[in-house]
Amino acid sequence: MTKTLIAYFSRTGENFVQGTIKGLEVGNTEIVARKIQEFTGGDLFKIDPVVPYDDDYDICSNQARQDFQNQARPEFKNPPATLKEYDTIYLLFPNYWNTMPMHVWTFLERYDFSNKTIKPLVTHMGSRFGTAEIDIANVCKGARVLKGLAVLGDLANDSDAKIKSWVELN
């Protein structure tokens, strides 16, 4: 019997929504993570920063850029001791600077993903995965990284059929 983990990084506060900045109480990636949990029954784990990015979109963007430029590995809250019990890991994140948020890098570098299946999903506003799929494969040696799904952040609430089809296909 396989066990599934849905690990995700999501951000509330100001985000681009249909070409304008709006405040979100629940981030787009978290919306999608909850849908995948509904479809799979998997366990949810939020990659929740110890020091969160600012709610202001521009400040957050600058913080994320600095983390990327410095190749920072910011910590997240309540890291699981191990992921040994999981065979399949859905890895969800928004596109930050053409790849994953640096908190996701911290998560991936912390655990052994050998013999696990990773199913990446990115929320974005037009940039899709960037280099993230390649980056995941490079960091998670010995893992089987499947073709990911890119979901426009604006459509997170309305992507049930697309997400369910992708979950069932893999």
Count of domains in the chain?
1
- The pLDDT-based confidence of 92 (bands split at 50, 70, 90) is very high
Q: Which pLDDT value is given to residue 169?
A: 83
User: Which CATH number do you get for residue 17?
Assistant: 3.40.50.360
What is the DSSP secondary-structure string of 52-93?
A: PPPSSHHHHHHHHHHHHHTT----BSS--S--TT-SEEEEEE
Q: Are 68 and 28 in contact (CB under 8 A)?
A: no
CA pair distance 3, 75, nearest whole angstrom: 25
Could you tell me the residue range of the domain that residue 106 belongs to?
A: 4-169
- The pLDDT-based confidence of 1 (bands split at 50, 70, 90) is low
Mean pLDDT of all residues in 126-131 = 87
> For 145-163, how does the pLDDT look when each residue is reduced to its tens digit (9 = 90+)?
999 999 988 888 889 999 9
- Token pair belonging to 130: 């960037």
